[in-house]
Chains A and B, each alone.
Chain A
Amino acid sequence: MSNSEISFVRTEMLPEKAPPAKETGAIKWIRQNLFSGWLNILLTVLSLYVIYAVLSLVLPWAFGGVWNAGSLTECREVLFSFYKGSHDGACWAVIEDRWLQILFGFYPPELYWRPILAFVLLFVALAPILFADKVPGQLMWFSLAYPFLAAWLVWGGSFWLPIFAAFGFVAAVIAYKILIKFAGPIVANLGALAAALIWWGMLMSPISDGLHKMVGSSRFENTVATLNARTDALPAEVAAEDALLEAKQAEIAEAVEVKNEILIEMTGIRIEEFGIEEQFEAKEVALQRIVGASESISDLSDILADWGGAPVAASGASEGDIAKAEAAAETAEDLVGDIESLLTGALSDLADDTVDASELMVSSASQADPSIAEDVSSMVSKAGLEDPIAALIVRAGNVSTETPEAELMALQADVETAASALGANIEALQTVHDKVIATNAESLVDPQARLLDQTSLLTALRDDQTVISQSKFRLETELSEGNSFLNSLGTLEAREASLPGLRSRVADLKAELPRNMRNLIAVNQLPEGTSSADERLLSEYLSARSDVLGVSASVNDTYGELGRVGLLPIDSRNIGGFMLALIIGIAGIVLSLPLGILLALGRQSHLFIVNKICVVFIEVIRGVPLIVWLFTASLLLNYFLPPGTNFDLVLRVIIMVTLFAAAYIAEVIRGGLAALPTGQYEGADSLGLSYWQSMQLIILPQAMKISIPGIVNTFIGLFKDTTLVLFIGLFDPIGLAGAIRADTAWNGIYWELFIFIGLLFFIFCFSMGRYSLHLEKKLQREHR
């Protein structure tokens, strides 16, 4: 070991040194990440090019867009006055005009504050869940109450409705607490479920109806009086709004007139530009024809040179040679014809163009730039172009296959001279055109500015108009609804009084009916051979019964409106746009998580029945497209519900979306559960924790942590899938985009709308993704 070759003792420590410059900072980063090898360099260059190509298309379009316009046509007018069609711009005006609709659907504008408030409160409610460590725990109560509060804010109705709905859960808890003392957990849970269902299904609406009736009866006289006064006053108010509207419309018409004048003025400035542009096309076509004629001449002379004159077969030639000669002769004849017809065509092209280049009226432009006038005066006149061609046509008419070579050559030379004259003319025209555009651009600056001012004035006027017509619409609705409500108030007493009579009639008819027919709900269910008297009796009974249902429903409705203490109810049909996507998405997310957890646990369960039910549920729900379930919700669900139940469509959709997402969540969480070592279950068991305790405290927190990316992924998918409700007649943002495009003003627009909608969705989905990353990192930090 004491070999002097190997032994080494360090006597002084090395000082710390900075790393070499090319190994640090941005340069190092770029070298390592963008240019580390030839493949990497290639990819970098290629992707930079692609990014450049895309941005150079999109950015001018997006930033050169028009924000103030009343219709797509106006957008195009403004764009044309700036770029003259040379490049396209976005018509963001449609977003400016309709963004509220995309956000809120057909929700009444004066009530926008309700969904907005609900949305703001959402964040308060989410805080204790998302940021549990930074927010006081008492807020949890608000989070629990929030769903009911939000539903009430959005849909409106009496204030006790959300309280009653929430009470179903309270009833469940109470039932559970009572039953658990006497019976096992299964009985207690079923009892809790039954209590909630009984409350929601049987007790809630009679109690609510009763309250409405109580409040309503006490208000009856007052309401009728105020309604009468209101309906008397309303027509005058509507008329006032009408007058305002008319004045506004006149103002708008005037502003449009001014705008059109500016447009005409701009066209006036550009008239020379347009005139020159019109010439270009005709002249270029003519030039092409002349060049073609020259080529035909040279082809012809080639053939004639090959055959030493007109192609003829020598006597005694073989059959193949004769065919060749005939073909060549035919081509030569065709070429002779072509020359003349091409030249004639060119002449008529030039003739079509009525403006003489040398006589262009370039007065306004040449005032700004005198050189234009010089250029124009040096240009060949129209006759100067046409006459030589006319002469050529005459000469071409004399050409035949017999024409001598030299003559053809001379003709070709002259045709080419004509072509170059025309070419020079076009070029001169181009110079003039460029100069005119340059000078016009300056003269256009002022009218363009005025045009922009005018369009933004117009936009402001139209916004005013919208406000007026909305308030007019509101007053009109109030009037018509007031009148019809007065009507129904007028008949309320009679309808209520008729109920006992109707009921006893139903009872009488039922007693008369044969016993076996009393449960039928349609005449066609009768067995064959039933006597016609029985049949008539049944149909009378059925119609009497539906009368009772109808009258009592209408009485309840009237009282519901009369005795409402709370917010104006909004029909689900009017809830749309991004708001609808948010409602369905958030409700689906909040509800599908617990359901998904239960399903995942069920699928792991050793209880055979529970296990199989969960497996079947998950597989069936997952195996069928969401759109099918949505159609089921909108069409079929009614068949399974007791007749007369009016089950809100949005609620049905929420249920379906929830079930659908829950099946996916269940599978994601099952993956998390499977990833946990069995030791965790055993550790929990060995401490005497019950099944639910060990799930809640030990297993699920860990399984959920593993599953976060999958869960959030499912949520994002769910949120975007809400756009599918379009197919069952709800107005999600995409559906609204369709409605907007159906408007004549915005017909033909799509990119702008879809970009806006895409952006809205992106913001939400991206935030969800970010939050999940944050959560993952946080849990990572904490646990290991």
Chain B
Amino acid sequence: MSDTTTERAINRDAMTVSDEVAIQITDMNKWYGTFHVLRDINLTVNQGERIVIAGPSGSGKSTLIRCINRLEEHQAGTIMVDGTELSSDLKNIDKIRSEVGMCFQHFNLFPHLTILENCTLAQIWVRKTPKKEAEEIAMHFLEKVKIPEQADKYPGMLSGGQQQRVAIARSLCMKPRIMLFDEPTSALDPEMIKEVLDTMIELAEEGMTMLCVTHEMGFARQVANRVIFMDAGQIVEQNEPEEFFNNPQSDRTKLFLSQILGH
């Protein structure tokens, strides 16, 4: 896959990593029926960290990221998000979900609501923000992702890149402390990939904690402070981007990188 590197220099000033732990995953295991998808996952993410998760198809990247806001249930081990443990307690789950934003490969916008309504809905119903204020916040984030003029359209009228940016704005409206991205660009044309990546880079520059499943290695190099490589449900290797790309340790990683960067 080609590098879609942005030309402008990245402002790394705000991209500091604090000592505060945002996500703590210990000995986490997950099965689909008898199929062991995630095996002994241990991962600590600090506030402000930007992590890229890479790996071959079917390695469990999506499953891992979806466990963090409990779209999937894990069967063993613990996941702590912002100091709260994920358990089957519904109140905890809803609280964590409103703190953790998520962007999907297929955007998952609500087609029966306008862009603005998509962005205000959760604020009004979950955060109980007054409608007026919610709309102001929504417009603020829509401006940030550079599509305020589309506010009154329906998602079906927008291009893929625009929809993904709306999805990001929708998550941001909840003022999340952590953002999860599951292959946000893999359903998009190259031109649109760039507009979405630009938005994500801006977000990184503001110090957002990000976990990002992506095949955009240029993005990983530029923004991430850690790259995690997964295979067969396990974390095979993790390292700083420079090290990871220039000096991969395991054979599996080397093979993967040669495949993904080789042409």
Q: B-contacting residues of A (Cβ < 8 Å)? A: 677, 679-680, 682-690, 693, 697-698, 701-702, 705, 779, 782-784
Query: In the complex, what's the smallest C-beta–C-beta distance from B129 to chain A, in angstroms?
Result: 13
Query: In the complex, what's the smallest C-beta–C-beta distance from B65 to chain A, in angstroms?
Result: 11
Q: A-contacting residues of B (Cβ < 8 Å)? A: 69, 71, 90, 94-102, 104, 106-112, 121-122, 125-126, 154, 156-157, 170-171, 174
The answer to whether A702 touches B104, judged by C-beta atoms less than 8 angstroms apart, is no
The answer to whether B111 touches A702, judged by C-beta atoms less than 8 angstroms apart, is yes
The answer to whether B156 touches A689, judged by C-beta atoms less than 8 angstroms apart, is no
Bound: A705/B157 CA distance, A:
19
Query: In the complex, what's the smallest C-beta–C-beta distance from A696 to chain B, in angstroms?
Result: 9
Bound: A493/B109 CA distance, A:
72
Partner of A688, one of B94, B108, B111, B112: B94
The answer to whether B126 touches A689, judged by C-beta atoms less than 8 angstroms apart, is yes
Given contacts A685-B69, A690-B94, A697-B121, 18 further A-B contacts (CB under 8 A): A677-B106, A679-B106, A679-B107, A683-B104, A683-B109, A684-B110, A685-B97, A686-B101, A686-B102, A686-B104, A686-B108, A687-B126, A688-B96, A689-B94, A690-B90, A693-B125, A705-B112, A784-B157
Of the A-B pairs whose beta carbons lie under 8 Å apart in the complex, a sample of 28, sorted by A's number, is A679-B107, A680-B108, A680-B110, A682-B71, A682-B104, A683-B108, A683-B109, A685-B69, A685-B97, A686-B69, A686-B97, A686-B101, A687-B97, A687-B121, A687-B122, A688-B96, A688-B174, A689-B94, A689-B125, A690-B90, A693-B125, A697-B121, A698-B110, A701-B112, A702-B110, A782-B154, A783-B112, A784-B157
Query: In the complex, what's the smallest C-beta–C-beta distance from A133 to chain B, in angstroms?
Result: 14
Partner of A682, one of B108, B121, B157: B108
Residues of B within 8 A of A693 (CB): 125-126
Bound: A128/B14 CA distance, A:
52
Query: In the complex, what's the smallest C-beta–C-beta distance from B109 to chain A, in angstroms?
Result: 7
Bound: A685/B93 CA distance, A:
9
Residues of B within 8 A of A682 (CB): 71, 104, 108
Residues of A within 8 A of B90 (CB): 690
Task: Enumerate the 6 nearest inter-chain pairs by beta-carbon distance, A residue then B residue, closest first.
Answer: A688-B98, A683-B108, A784-B156, A688-B97, A687-B122, A679-B108
Query: Given A683-B104, A686-B101, A688-B97, is A702 in contact with B112 using a C-beta cutoff of 8 Å?
Result: yes
Query: In the complex, what's the smallest C-beta–C-beta distance from B237 to chain A, in angstroms?
Result: 28
The answer to whether B71 touches A687, judged by C-beta atoms less than 8 angstroms apart, is no
A-B contact count, CB below 8 Å?
A: 72
The answer to whether A688 touches B122, judged by C-beta atoms less than 8 angstroms apart, is yes
Bound: A146/B245 CA distance, A:
70
Bound: A693/B69 CA distance, A:
18
Residues of A within 8 A of B99 (CB): 688
Query: Given A702-B112, A705-B112, A783-B111, is A688 in contact with B126 using a C-beta cutoff of 8 Å?
Result: yes
Q: Specify the chain B residue showing the minimal Cβ separation from A699.
A: B110
Q: Specify the chain A residue showing the minimal Cβ separation from B173.
A: A687
Q: Specify the chain B residue showing the minimal Cβ separation from A687.
A: B122
The answer to whether A688 touches B156, judged by C-beta atoms less than 8 angstroms apart, is no
Chain B CB within 10 Å, residue with most, of A682, A683, A697, A783:
A683
Residues of B within 8 A of A680 (CB): 108, 110
Query: In the complex, what's the smallest C-beta–C-beta distance from A768 to chain B, in angstroms?
Result: 23
The answer to whether B126 touches A683, judged by C-beta atoms less than 8 angstroms apart, is no
Chain A CB within 10 Å, residue with most, of B90, B96, B122:
B122
Bound: A127/B108 CA distance, A:
33
Bound: A782/B110 CA distance, A:
13
Partner of B104, one of A679, A697, A701, A784: A679
The answer to whether B104 touches A687, judged by C-beta atoms less than 8 angstroms apart, is no
Residues of B within 8 A of A679 (CB): 104, 106-108
Query: In the complex, what's the smallest C-beta–C-beta distance from A650 to chain B, in angstroms?
Result: 38
The answer to whether B125 touches A697, judged by C-beta atoms less than 8 angstroms apart, is yes
Q: Specify the chain A residue showing the minimal Cβ separation from B110.
A: A698
Query: In the complex, what's the smallest C-beta–C-beta distance from A34 to chain B, in angstroms?
Result: 37
Residues of A within 8 A of B69 (CB): 685-686
Residues of A within 8 A of B126 (CB): 687-689, 693
Bound: A149/B207 CA distance, A:
60
Q: Specify the chain A residue showing the minimal Cβ separation from B104.
A: A679
Query: In the complex, what's the smallest C-beta–C-beta distance from A607 to chain B, in angstroms?
Result: 12
Residues of A within 8 A of B106 (CB): 677, 679
The answer to whether A689 touches B122, judged by C-beta atoms less than 8 angstroms apart, is yes
Bound: A440/B156 CA distance, A:
77
Q: Specify the chain A residue showing the minimal Cβ separation from B98.
A: A688
Chain A CB within 10 Å, residue with most, of B94, B99, B110:
B110
Bound: A296/B140 CA distance, A:
111
Bound: A680/B122 CA distance, A:
14
Bound: A705/B110 CA distance, A:
13
Bound: A121/B109 CA distance, A:
40
Bound: A685/B110 CA distance, A:
12
Residues of A within 8 A of B95 (CB): 688
The answer to whether A685 touches B154, judged by C-beta atoms less than 8 angstroms apart, is no
Residues of B within 8 A of A701 (CB): 112
Residues of A within 8 A of B174 (CB): 687-688
Query: Given A679-B104, A683-B109, A688-B174, is A783 in contact with B97 using a C-beta cutoff of 8 Å?
Result: no
Bound: A683/B157 CA distance, A:
19
The answer to whether B156 touches A683, judged by C-beta atoms less than 8 angstroms apart, is no
Bound: A680/B104 CA distance, A:
11
Bound: A685/B122 CA distance, A:
10
Bound: A698/B109 CA distance, A:
10
The answer to whether B156 touches A687, judged by C-beta atoms less than 8 angstroms apart, is no
Residues of A within 8 A of B104 (CB): 679, 682-683, 686
Q: Specify the chain A residue showing the minimal Cβ separation from B156.
A: A784
The answer to whether B71 touches A686, judged by C-beta atoms less than 8 angstroms apart, is yes
Query: In the complex, what's the smallest C-beta–C-beta distance from B212 to chain A, in angstroms?
Result: 15
Query: In the complex, what's the smallest C-beta–C-beta distance from A199 to chain B, in angstroms?
Result: 30
Q: Specify the chain B residue showing the minimal Cβ separation from A688.
A: B98
Query: In the complex, what's the smallest C-beta–C-beta distance from B102 to chain A, in angstroms?
Result: 4
Bound: A619/B46 CA distance, A:
53
Bound: A698/B125 CA distance, A:
12
Bound: A421/B160 CA distance, A:
98
Query: In the complex, what's the smallest C-beta–C-beta distance from B96 to chain A, in angstroms?
Result: 8
